[in-house]
């Protein structure tokens, strides 16, 4: 008999919380966002709840809207290494850009994290979406969307080849004969593409997971094609069940098209829950946070996310729907988040202030206000109806927002048989139910005649 399907749940760590005004609320701790102990405590909370992983976003630039929001520029791979020392099972997923790293350096960083954590690392692959980064790396301009994805495909191929370049049994460790490793089982990769050249071999053996879990978050047409070929977990943003179902079916189909098992790609939408004893109290809490927002910050965020300015419109008048006519559908590359926002405008006809409040909670990810049972209900509904394999949980405020989710929602999911009560493995692949990949250089079994 096959084991019942189980949710995957990650805690998406965002300095003070995912609501843009969280740092102004007394329940958050913005004075601690550069304190490593703060993140270690969050990691221990996530591990006590048996969550699959913590996840960090990252970008190699300081955004221009730092004045009205608390932001942390800590480098996530180093920070996750610190969390690794404070936990034993929790997965550790960090964002790193294929546009602004080189394959060998990045391969070393994630390989080291996977070794240090004994197999708990994951790499969230991004191409970087902001022009602000280019000048920090001596470039006149940020590469365009198509070029970034072309480089990303080469980048991932090169990095995985480096991780594979030692066969699993390359280390002999024969002290009597003086043989540490078998050079015949360590391979140059000689990767040569249009954008990248990497000779190899790597300077460290394969990690406990074979290689770190490959995670991706792009939902444009290029992003979906990339995910179908490479991703083992996908973070995505959807407001409605039907949209999430369509995305889920599309990605699973693309995986099949690449000859992959669709069960080996986990689709994890974001959800940002305001939780209270009653639905009214949860909605009041959300309103309390929204009233702390700074419109100038929200307008700048909107421009950065979707490329549309609403500054010329009065805050308390409805947004003209035709401003979002260029959103198109998912076949328009690079517009996935614009389509999410356009959908909100078309369905709800919000004022500018209303839209800013809708996006303040999680930058276009789904915000849900309700009781623990209601949060569990919506998670179960999406999970059972072909919309999600789990969720990237985005607490509106830290640390309490994760604590209340862990203390009230997780037990309900456990009682329903949807989520583990104990870890059944030690690696992130174990938690996600993913196989350990073989080295591409390992001898292949002979075909039966």
Average pLDDT, the chain: 93
List the single range of 28-42, 147-161, 290-304 with lowest mean pLDDT: 290-304
Q: Output the pLDDT for position 1.
A: 56
Give the Cα separation of 16 and 227 in Å (integer).
30
- pLDDT tier, 445 (very low <50, low <70, confident <90, very high otherwise): low
- The answer, yes or no, to whether residue 364 has pLDDT greater than 90, is no
Q: Name the token pair of 334.
A: 């690079």
Q: Which residue shows structure tokens 């174990």?
A: 430
Q: Output the pLDDT for position 42.
A: 98
**Which string of DSSP letters, residue by residue, matches 330-367?**
TTSTT-HHHHHHHHHHHHH--BHHHHHHHHHTTTTSEE
Q: At what angle do helices 221-230 and 241-257 cross, to 10 degrees?
A: 50
Average pLDDT of span 172-196: 97
Q: Under 8 Å CB-to-CB from 270, ≥6 apart: which residues?
A: 12, 235, 236, 237, 362, 365, 366, 391, 392, 394
């Amino acid at each position: 008999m096959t084991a019942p399907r189980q949710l995957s749940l990650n805690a998406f760590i965002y300095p003070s919380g995912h609501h843009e005004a969280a740092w102004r609320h007394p329940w958050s701790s913005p004075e601690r966002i550069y304190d490593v102990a703060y993140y270690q405590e969050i990691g221990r909370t996530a591990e006590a709840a048996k969550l699959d992983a913590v996840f960090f976003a990252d970008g190699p630039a300081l955004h221009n809207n730092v004045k009205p929001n608390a932001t942390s520029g800590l480098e996530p791979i180093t920070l996750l290494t610190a969390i690794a020392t404070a936990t034993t099972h929790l997965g550790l997923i960090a964002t790193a850009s294929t546009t602004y790293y080189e394959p060998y350096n990045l391969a070393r960083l994630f390989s080291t994290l996977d070794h240090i954590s004994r197999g708990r690392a994951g790499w969230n692959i991004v191409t970087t979406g902001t022009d602000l980064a280019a000048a920090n790396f001596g470039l006149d301009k940020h590469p365009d969307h198509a070029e970034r994805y072309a480089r990303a495909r080469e980048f991932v191929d090169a990095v995985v080849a480096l991780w594979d370049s030692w066969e699993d049994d390359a280390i002999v460790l024969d002290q009597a004969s003086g043989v540490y490793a078998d050079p015949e089982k360590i391979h140059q990769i000689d990767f040569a593409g249009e954008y990248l050249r990497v000779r190899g071999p790597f300077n460290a053996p394969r990690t406990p997971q074979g290689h770190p879990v490959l995670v991706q978050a792009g939902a444009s047409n290029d992003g979906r094609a990339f995910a179908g070929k490479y991703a083992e977990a996908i973070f995505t943003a959807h407001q409605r069940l039907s949209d999430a179902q369509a995305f889920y079916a599309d990605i699973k189909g693309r995986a099949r098209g690449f000859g992959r098992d669709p069960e080996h790609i986990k689709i994890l939408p974001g959800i940002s829950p305001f939780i209270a004893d009653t639905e009214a109290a949860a909605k009041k809490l959300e309103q309390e946070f929204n009233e702390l927002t700074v419109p100038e910050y929200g307008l700048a965020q909107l421009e950065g996310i979707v490329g549309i300015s609403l500054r010329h419109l009065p805050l308390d008048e409805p947004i003209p729907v035709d401003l979002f006519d260029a959103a198109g559908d998912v076949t328009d590359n690079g517009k996935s988040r614009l389509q999410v926002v356009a959908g909100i405008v078309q369905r709800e006809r919000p004022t500018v202030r209303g839209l800013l409040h809708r996006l303040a909670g999680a930058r276009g990810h789904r915000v849900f206000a309700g009781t623990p049972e209601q949060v569990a209900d919506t998670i179960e509904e999406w999970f059972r109806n072909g919309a999600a394999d789990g969720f990237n949980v985005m607490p509106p405020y830290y640390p309490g927002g994760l604590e209340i989710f862990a203390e009230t929602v997780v037990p309900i999911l456990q009682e329903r048989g949807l989520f583990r009560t104990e870890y059944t493995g030690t690696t992130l692949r174990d938690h996600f139910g993913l196989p350990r990949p073989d080295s591409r250089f390992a001898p292949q079994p002979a075909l039966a005649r």
